[in-house]
Chains A and B, each alone.
Chain A
Amino acid sequence: MDGDDYWNTSLNKSFSFDDDIDQKFLDDNVSEISNVSSSGAISLNLIINDSDLQMILEDQMITEPIFPKVSLEEEIKILRRKLQESQYCPIPITINKLLLGKPCSLSIYKSLNEKEDLLDKAILCGNGDAILRIVLFLKNSLKTSLFNQILETRPIAVDHYVNYLNTTMRIGEASEILKIMGRNQEAAMIQFKASVSSKNVITKLEKLKNIRELFDQPCCNPFLSQQLSNFITLLELQINERLYFHPHDIMEKSVIETLYYCCQKFQKWSDPSFNSSTNPFKLAINYAITPSQFEWVAINERGKSQAWRDIEGLFQKKSVIKKKSFTIHIPLELAIIRLYNLRAPQAVLNSFLQHVDDPERRLTLSKKVGAINSIVESLTALKDKQALEDFKETLASGTAEYFYTEKAIINLSNTKSLLGIRKNSNATS
């Protein structure tokens, strides 16, 4: 049952009138209002007349309405009808009684034809309660082969029956019926769900191993079977390495959460091929974690651990010709914003920003994350001297950033004048 904790904390606390006569059922801003509107209510008989209300109240009862006061002859008539119904009652009348939820007996339907007809009429009516009740009646009054035969052509009846078995924890029976009906996938899934719900992780692991063969059948999607194996190996890893992850409890956490803690414990970021079962790079391969998701987890974890050099190293790939190349699978912009949110130092932000090719975009992004060097570089690339001058004004004079900007302005003026000279010489020649 859900919300156990909530229930436990509210043990035996009651709302008592004795403590406070005005105590409200809920917090006041709710109850206040709900009581207000009742004052404007109209009288009940404008909404519904007495006989209709009486009828609704009778229908709500799960027993037959109390015998009305009638003449002796009437009473005999009613009793005769009741007696007849107890011996034989036409199926449509029974279906109606089931719909109203009034007492009726199914055991009067003895022949196979009647039984089938009864079920079909209930399915036609669409009342699930009646369908299940009839299925359970058929289960108890027919031999298994006949029962299965009837269910085979009525999948909706199977659904109601299987749901019921499932709810009452008769997983084996539910799965068996589904298999007989050729619904092997669902049978496997029911077993899976039951295994997952075990509280003890060792039992869970054992149960999952036991249902492997259900997923390995040729009719089953091999992808699902792969996922089940992944689940099993993950649980095994978590059980075997639980001490390694101390103080974090990673039992039954997802692959990504496990990856996160693996990143946290990993010491050899410079050597991705390091041989260990908790090497995050290996984990990523084993569970087919996409490169982008791997990078995202690594950035977040390394960022929170302030290990900025590991982050930079992650994306600097040394190629054969010794030239470092930068590869990233997540959109650069997302990575930069996240690094900023993780409070990465300016140097780290700048080193990522330099890979944004379009200077306009780089400028906007640099401004967003306040990376001064990148702002200056972008403005230089855009050859916007005025903007550089303006930007310089915003900086405290004498700081490194101030001088950096100033230098950029000078450089930009030089290249500009150089270009100017070249243009002039072109013109004269």
Chain B
Amino acid sequence: MDIALEKKLSGFKQIALEKLENILLTILGKKDLVISPDLIRILDSFANMTWLKSKGFDRIFKLSSSPPPKTKVLVFMIQADLITFKYVCDQISFLKDKHSSFDPGEVLKDFHIIVIPNLFFTFQNLLETEGLHGIVELHRFSWDFIKIDRNLLSLELPQVFKEVFVRNDKSLLSSIASSLRIFNIVHGRPKFIVSYGENSDKILSMVSRMESMRKSSAKEKQDFPDFHAMIVMDRNKDFPSCLLTPVTYSGLMVELFETKAGILSIENESNKNKSGKINILNVEKDQMNDEKDIKTLRMCGNSDEIYTTNKYRHFSEVVNLIKWESKNLEGEKNKYSRDMNIEQMKEFVEKNLPKVAAQKKILYKHLVICEKIVQEMSGNFERQQNIEDTILRNDNKKQILNYIHEQLYTNAHQYNILCLICLLHICVGGLSSDEVNKFVGGYLNTFGHKHLEMFQGLMKAKLFPDINQVSSKNLIGIAQSTIPKKTQFQIHAGKLKMIPGDEIGSTAGPPMACPSYVFNGNFIPLVVQLASALLQAKDATELLSKVGHLEQLKLTGSFIGDDLEPFKDAVLSNLKILPIKPRTLFIFIVGGVTYAETAACSLIESLTGSTIVLASDQITSGIDLMKAAS
């Protein structure tokens, strides 16, 4: 990717600052900021303290259960969540009453609430019913794209999957559309925009609507956009890419720890593996992570070469490379042993390498992360990989269900176990009501009956079969288990060549030559197959032979017109659009993108000599999807 483009991708930060400044300019006087704890890290990624101070902020408070002291104008910054908004209204009412008894009239318009990313009607409505209209001024602000890494952008709106796919609430789609419109203003509207999924369709038509109402004046940009093609896809078109266990370093990091604005929390509280388990059934003692300064890792290559080199590698290589790295750092004279385990390495690095402090610090962080990954995941890694492969190939449903049952009582991880059963439902399907009931019953017994409602959420997101169905699907179930038949998913995945055949697995060659390496050779993410079909097609016939059968695929963009057209027809009537040149592609996934997808796209990027930038509302993992449903 050329440097100018990379810098331009960081430019959203500057636009975000302009937008925020524009709001703050209307709020006169000295002010204090009260911010939702969830937003701090994101705000920090584009606005630092010095900047905030220069805009008149004095102190910053975390939004908490008791109202902050009111000495100046108070500016609240919260995410678009009605309950949080109500909470802030309550605090303001309290402060208003308290202060008006001393000095009436003084507090008017002394309160501001900035809602992120958009201010909805119900908020304005609530403000009125709370009697605060005219006392509180409302604002909306969206930071649009936060640049996470070289080729990765995120809107950092973690609620999108839950709202859009689980609760079927489409309010946030317009915010995504508005950010994509700004993307088009900055980078030019791509000539060739592929949409896959109903939410993606809606977003793209909203973008067109906004563009037709308010036209951009940058004519040249629109003629020569930075990205020639764009794909917008719904997360539910490819759930397996979230539910399968990735083997890449960055993928495993997010599998185990929480991440926000590209910053990984390496603390015990944010350990996803530990937090989902039932304590009484654990034998290992909880190791406290006592290293005070090992709390976060920025998942970005700018200052961390180890991360850049290793982020997309297979984890088994990474451990050795990091060992090698520490050997390099240490030099020859010290007594390095090839047979050291990670624990020893940790100690080694801590004691013997005082010189290269900064490098050491980062290296040490990576060792801690590697150690945690090995500790938490290695025990079962191989079996898990095998069972995932079995699920994808629909080889032996009984064996899979036995494994799931065994995991339920032995490992007892609240979310991991759900990932497996959902994967089974999506890839194999045909779970009989007995099988579903057995699982749900076991799950509720283990984790508590309060979770009953969660299955409704999973079902709504089409991740789980309909538990309400009284009719037994047993007959179909039996028919399927006796005659190994291809499931719908397998047919779909087969047409798109998402499950590599044995011939690929066995051919000698560089292990990273097939994007399926991100799932140990088991699976290629759908978005990667779409991207490579687009980038490699020489003509319409070739493109349509690969993806033409996807009925929900639609096409728009300046080559086609403002409306979304059925993909096949649009391609056939616009033959000149192929091959794609220049090979620049922007991908947006509605509902979260995984690091496995990012890694696989990066491979396609280098194989096809193209530029691919991925974006989404958040960086996600299977556990995150499961949590969203609960």
- B448-476 contacts to A (CB < 8 Å): 448-450, 452-453, 456, 467-470
Bound-complex Cα distance A219 to B11 (A): 56
Bound-complex Cα distance A267 to B125 (A): 61
In the complex where A30-B41, A33-B298, A234-B449 touch, is A132 in contact with B122 (Cβ < 8 A)? yes
Whether B287 sits at the interface, judged by CB under 8 Å, is no
A-B contacts besides A36-B303, A341-B283, 5 pairs, CB < 8 Å: A25-B60, A60-B141, A127-B206, A193-B453, A223-B467
Interface residues on chain B, number (Cβ under 8 Å)? 112
In the complex where A99-B209, A167-B82 touch, is A30 in contact with B170 (Cβ < 8 A)? no
Whether A287 sits at the interface, judged by CB under 8 Å, is yes
In the complex where A100-B210, A227-B440 touch, is A256 in contact with B446 (Cβ < 8 A)? yes
- 14 inter-chain pairs at a CB distance below 8 angstroms, sorted by A residue, are A7-B37, A10-B62, A12-B68, A13-B62, A29-B298, A125-B205, A127-B206, A128-B171, A129-B120, A132-B121, A185-B456, A223-B433, A301-B280, A338-B410
Bound-complex Cα distance A30 to B302 (A): 12
Report A-chain residues with C-beta under 8 Å of the C-beta of B283.
300, 338, 341-342
Report A-chain residues with C-beta under 8 Å of the C-beta of B224.
none
B10 touches A37 (CB 8 A): yes
- B56-71 contacts to A (CB < 8 Å): 58-66, 68-69
Whether B310 sits at the interface, judged by CB under 8 Å, is no
Report A-chain residues with C-beta under 8 Å of the C-beta of B37.
3, 6-7, 10
Whether B492 sits at the interface, judged by CB under 8 Å, is no
B7 touches A224 (CB 8 A): no
The smallest beta-carbon distance between B210 and chain A, in angstroms, is: 7
Q: B282's closest neighbor in chain A, by CB?
A: A300
- A330-350 contacts to B (CB < 8 Å): 330-331, 334, 338, 341-342
Q: B80's closest neighbor in chain A, by CB?
A: A129
Bound-complex Cα distance A23 to B450 (A): 43
B446 touches A23 (CB 8 A): no
In the complex where A133-B121, A186-B456 touch, is A57 in contact with B18 (Cβ < 8 A)? yes
The smallest beta-carbon distance between B457 and chain A, in angstroms, is: 9
Report A-chain residues with C-beta under 8 Å of the C-beta of B84.
1
Whether B281 sits at the interface, judged by CB under 8 Å, is yes
The smallest beta-carbon distance between B459 and chain A, in angstroms, is: 10
Bound-complex Cα distance A248 to B57 (A): 49
Tell me which of B45-53, B327-335, B479-487, B508-516 binds A. B45-53
Q: B283's closest neighbor in chain A, by CB?
A: A341
Interface residues of B, dominant DSSP: helix
Select B205's contact among A126, A254, A338, beta carbons within 8 Å: A126
The smallest beta-carbon distance between B186 and chain A, in angstroms, is: 6
Report B-chain residues with C-beta under 8 Å of the C-beta of A42.
4, 7-8, 11
Select B406's contact among A53, A55, A160, A292, beta carbons within 8 Å: A292
In the complex where A292-B406, A296-B410 touch, is A24 in contact with B11 (Cβ < 8 A)? no
In the complex where A53-B18, A292-B405 touch, is A192 in contact with B302 (Cβ < 8 A)? no
A192 touches B452 (CB 8 A): yes
In the complex where A224-B467, A293-B442 touch, is A14 in contact with B121 (Cβ < 8 A)? no
Whether A35 sits at the interface, judged by CB under 8 Å, is yes
Report A-chain residues with C-beta under 8 Å of the C-beta of B321.
none
Whether B427 sits at the interface, judged by CB under 8 Å, is no
Interface centre among A6, A36, A101, A133 (most CB of B within 10 A): A101
A49 touches B453 (CB 8 A): no
Bound-complex Cα distance A189 to B459 (A): 13
6 nearest interchain CB pairs? A126-B202, A128-B170, A128-B171, A47-B11, A231-B449, A293-B409
Interface residues on chain A, number (Cβ under 8 Å)? 106
- A318-367 contacts to B (CB < 8 Å): 330-331, 334, 338, 341-342
Report B-chain residues with C-beta under 8 Å of the C-beta of A159.
167-169
Whether A4 sits at the interface, judged by CB under 8 Å, is yes
- A1-28 contacts to B (CB < 8 Å): 1, 3-4, 6-8, 10-17, 23-27
List chain A positions with a Cβ less than 8 A from chain B.
1, 3-4, 6-8, 10-17, 23-27, 29-31, 33-38, 40-42, 44, 46-49, 51-53, 55-57, 59-60, 62, 96, 99-101, 125-133, 136, 156, 159-160, 163-164, 167-168, 185-186, 189, 192-193, 196, 219-224, 227-228, 230-231, 234, 252-257, 260, 287-290, 292-293, 296-297, 300-301, 330-331, 334, 338, 341-342
Q: A58's closest neighbor in chain B, by CB?
A: B214
Interface residues of A, dominant DSSP: helix
Select B7's contact among A16, A41, A193, beta carbons within 8 Å: A41
The smallest beta-carbon distance between B80 and chain A, in angstroms, is: 9
Report A-chain residues with C-beta under 8 Å of the C-beta of B14.
41, 44, 47
Contact pattern, B 150-181, Cβ under 8 Å of A = 1, otherwise 0: 00000000000000000111111110001000
B449 touches A101 (CB 8 A): no
- B202-221 contacts to A (CB < 8 Å): 202-203, 205-206, 209-210, 213-214, 216-218
Report B-chain residues with C-beta under 8 Å of the C-beta of A7.
37, 62-65
A60 touches B23 (CB 8 A): yes
Report B-chain residues with C-beta under 8 Å of the C-beta of A189.
452-453, 456
Bound-complex Cα distance A8 to B66 (A): 8
Whether B342 sits at the interface, judged by CB under 8 Å, is no
Report B-chain residues with C-beta under 8 Å of the C-beta of A136.
121-122, 125
In the complex where A15-B60, A254-B445 touch, is A48 in contact with B300 (Cβ < 8 A)? no
Bound-complex Cα distance A309 to B23 (A): 72
Report A-chain residues with C-beta under 8 Å of the C-beta of B444.
227, 230-231, 254-255
